[in-house]
Amino acid sequence: MAERVFVDSDWLQTQHGAVLVHVGTTMGGQDPRAAYNDRHLDGAEFVSLDDDLADPPDGVRGRHPLPSPERFAAVLDRLGIDDDSLVVAYDDRGGAFAARLVWMLRILDVDARLLDIAPAAISARSGSESERANVASPAPAPERSARPWPAEAVASAAEVAVHIDAGGVVIDSREAPRYRGEVEPIDPVAGHVPGAINRFFGDNLDDGRLRSVEDLRDRFAVVADDPDAIVYCGSGVTACHNALAIEHAGLGRPRVYVGSWSGWSADPDRPIA
């Protein structure tokens, strides 16, 4: 049976010393720190997607390029996360943003899971006594050596193009209207990578909770015969939710094109569908 990448509160209560992380971002349309201060699970540390999990926007690198290994190592030091840690991350958007942290840790071989919790459950409570007992108090870890991002876990724009030309699977994780180019609320150019198929990450959820493994296998059956499948989205964030769902379903770990549509569309030499 595939490892549980998504876990629930009952599972969390059985784990001792887990590092619980609340991921916030300005992508949610509000001040992420204020939202965290307003409501979060007890014992959860705050991480900013914009400041901690990405470098500044950078043209063809996209709106949320991966941070340098040195910057990310400093973030993990601050949180007390080392190679032996168990990290459980969540957000108030069904995992849309926290998935980025979980994916980043997993490709570095750190045991990280995404908490499958409905947003309403976070607003209704700040964490049970049993959950608090299982959450590790933050303690700075010994200075962590920076580890480069594994080449086999990420894909460049050129690799996306080559993979599609070879008949490989590339998945666009955005909403269908954005994929079809009918609307584009963020990036200056609408459309999608020619040859990519659409699997909106939000459809991994049903009423705010993860669908069954069987449903996920059906959703992503197209990747079963492509161990080198690639996922992308607008800026390499919600694509991680699809990547984790595919792994949770036992279909392997796809590569993530972190530049995603924001990076692809910033290059005038790239074709657009």
Q: Distance of CA 18 to CAs 35, 43, 138, 270, Å?
A: 23, 10, 10, 43
Residues 177 and 217 in one domain: yes
Tokens of 152: 């086999």
Average pLDDT, the chain: 92
The continuous run of DSSP H or E covering 19 comes out as strand 19-24
Encoded amino acid at 142, one letter:
P
CA angle 179, 238, 127 (to 5 degrees): 145
Q: Is residue 141 a part of any domain in this protein?
A: no
Tokens of 109: 């071989």
Q: Is residue 142 a part of any domain in this protein?
A: no
- For 139, counting Cβ atoms within 10 Å of its Cβ (0-12 exposed, 13-18 middle, 19+ buried), the class is exposed
Nearest to 230 by CA among 148, 149, 147, 158: 158
Residues 130 and 29 in one domain: yes
> Of 140 and 89, which is predicted with more confidence?
89
Read off the DSSP letter of residue 83: T
Residues 14 and 122 in one domain: yes
Residue 11, SS3 per DSSP: helix
Residues 73 and 181 in one domain: no
Q: By percentage, how much of the chain surpasses pLDDT 90?
A: 85
Q: Is residue 202 a part of any domain in this protein?
A: yes
Q: What pLDDT does residue 136 have?
A: 53
Q: What pLDDT does residue 121 have?
A: 85
Between CA 82 and CA 141 the distance in angstroms is 6
Q: Is residue 1 a part of any domain in this protein?
A: no
Give the long-range contacts of residues 65-73, CB within 8 A, separation 24 or more: 65/236, 65/258, 65/259, 65/263, 66/104, 66/149, 66/154, 66/236, 66/258, 68/146, 69/146, 69/147, 69/148, 69/149, 70/146, 72/104, 72/146, 73/144, 73/145, 73/146, 73/147
pLDDT single digits (tens) 57-94 = 999 999 999 999 999 999 999 999 999 999 999 999 99
CATH of the domain at 227: 3.40.250.10
Q: What pLDDT does residue 134 have?
A: 54
**Once rounded to an integer, what is the mean pLDDT over residues 214-220?**
98
pLDDT-based confidence at 247, cuts 50/70/90?
very high
Q: What pLDDT does residue 119 have?
A: 85
Residues 116 and 14 in one domain: yes
Residues 164 and 231 in one domain: yes
Residues 80 and 159 in one domain: no
Do residues 214 and 160 lie in contact, with contact meaning Cβ atoms separated by under 8 Å? no
Q: What pLDDT does residue 21 have?
A: 97
Q: Is residue 25 a part of any domain in this protein?
A: yes
Residues 126 and 159 in one domain: no
pLDDT single digits (tens) 171-194 = 999 999 999 999 999 999 999 999
- Is the per-residue pLDDT at 40 higher than 70? yes
Residues 121 and 239 in one domain: no
Least confident of 5-9, 49-53, 132-136, 269-273: 132-136
Q: What pLDDT does residue 29 have?
A: 77
Q: Is residue 222 a part of any domain in this protein?
A: yes
Encoded amino acid at 9, one letter:
S
Between CA 121 and CA 28 the distance in angstroms is 18
Catalytic residue among 233, 244, 245, 251: 233
Active site residue 233: yes
Last residue of a domain, one of 77, 108, 134: 134
Do residues 191 and 181 lie in contact, with contact meaning Cβ atoms separated by under 8 Å? yes
CA R_g for the chain: 18
- Is the per-residue pLDDT at 170 higher than 80? yes
Last residue of a domain, one of 100, 134, 168: 134
Q: What is the pTM of this model?
A: 0.93
Q: What pLDDT does residue 16 have?
A: 86
Last residue of a domain, one of 134, 168, 183: 134
Residues 159 and 114 in one domain: no
Domain count, the chain: 2
pLDDT-based confidence at 127, cuts 50/70/90?
very low
Q: Is residue 273 a part of any domain in this protein?
A: no
Q: Is residue 54 a part of any domain in this protein?
A: yes
Residues 120 and 59 in one domain: yes
Domain range holding 229?
151-264
Residues 165 and 106 in one domain: no
